[in-house]
Amino acid sequence: MPSIRKTKRHHLQLTMQAQPDDTTCGPTCLHAVYEYWGEQVSLTAVIDSVPKLETGGTLGVLLGIDALQRGYQVTLYTYNLQVFDPTWFSTLGVDLAAKLEAQARAKTSLKLRLACQAYVKFLKLGGVVRSAVLSGSLIRKHLNRNVPILTGLSSTNLYQASREYGPNDDDDDIRGNPSGHFVVLSGYDRKLRQVHILDPLQANPHSPTRRYSIDIDRVINSILLGVLTYDANLLMIKPPAAGPHA
């Protein structure tokens, strides 16, 4: 296992393209991670290979499945209580796949069933699902290992923006719903208590360059609030040669 350096700041060199449309933030982030590890693949090819939801966009676990099918090691830290019961991680010997399959049979939400089925496939492909306290130290630990963190979070909270309504996702603070998004955490500054973010949304409110740094507490809260759109996770993707799962 790589040694963990206790540094005040750390930054990984990734290149993030602009997402082609409002629903391709996930594959665009995944493409940036693939390029970071040296894989030569076009953004179009990644977008075409990642399953899409009928309502638009995708789920973090579906991004993980794509990476597993390409031979990567994938560890997913989940904070999604809609999909995972906390006792599944605190009790030894729990068969997560069996629990997810039973939950899919017991509940009627179509999106929940889809998520459960995706996680079962993720586990059967060799993906690892973990639960841990979301903190700055957890984020720094993986970045210090030079592993970028692809995360599904709440863009409504990250941007402090209006909720969105209708087919065109118009700003509407009354009728609107919170929106999800994917970004890549690429570094940190402990002194300033900031996390460096690569954001595929060109017109994001934080920066015109798709790179910015914001307060770590805002980032953590935004990740946790990703539960509203069935994400709330950290996705660590490494090539097999990178060693054991993070």
Nearest to 84 by CA among 67, 66, 68, 104: 104
- pLDDT greater at residue 169 or residue 13: 13
**What are the Cα distances from residue 131, in Å, to 89, 96, 139, 197, 231?**
7, 12, 13, 23, 13
Dist CA 222 CA 17 (whole Å): 22
- Among 135, 121, 10, smallest CA distance to 67 is for 121
End-to-end CA distance of the chain: 9
Q: Hey, what amino acid is at 197?
A: I
Residue 204: what pLDDT? Answer: 87
CA-nearest of 115, 87, 111, 90 to 101 is 115
- Spatial distance between the Cα atoms of 188 and 149, rounded to a whole number of angstroms: 12
What are 221's two structure tokens? 């809260």
pLDDT at 210 over 60: yes
pLDDT tens figures, 39-95? 999 999 999 999 998 878 899 999 999 999 999 999 999 999 999 999 999 988 999
> What sign for the dihedral angle of Cα 78, 82, 87, 93?
negative
C-alpha pair distances (Å), 231 with each of 46, 60, 154, 207, 208: 20, 6, 9, 24, 26
Which of 158, 144, 133 lies closest to 223, judged by CA? 158
Query: What is the rounded distance in angstroms from the CA atom of residue 114 to the CA atom of residue 104?
Result: 8
Q: pLDDT > 70: what percent of the chain?
A: 95
- Which domains are delineated in the chain? 19-162+171-242 (3.90.70.10)
The C-alpha atoms of residue 84 and residue 154 are separated, in whole angstroms, by 18
The model's pLDDT over 125-153, given as tens digits with 9 standing for 90+, comes to 999 999 999 999 999 999 999 999 999 99
Q: Please return the burial class of 20, using the count of CB atoms within 10 Å of its CB with bins 0-12, 13-18 and 19+.
A: middle
Residue 11: pLDDT band by 50, 70, 90 thresholds?
very high
172, 113, 70, 229 alpha-carbon torsion, rounded to 10°: 20
Mean pLDDT for the stretch of residues 216-229: 96
CB neighbour list of residue 73: distance below 8 Å, 6 or more residues apart = 126, 237, 238, 239, 240, 242, 245
**Which residues, at least 6 apart from 100, have a Cβ–Cβ distance to it below 8 Å?**
83, 116, 117, 119, 120, 123
pLDDT surpassing 60 at residue 3 = no
pLDDT at 1: 41
| Sequence-ordered list of residues with C-beta below 8 angstroms from that of 49, at least 6 positions apart, any chain | 27, 66
Model pTM? Answer: 0.93
| Segments of the chain assigned E as strands | 9-11, 73-78, 128-130, 149-154, 164-165, 170-171, 180-189, 194-198, 211-215, 233-238
In tens, the pLDDT along 167-191 reads 878 888 999 999 999 999 999 999 9
pLDDT at 208: 86
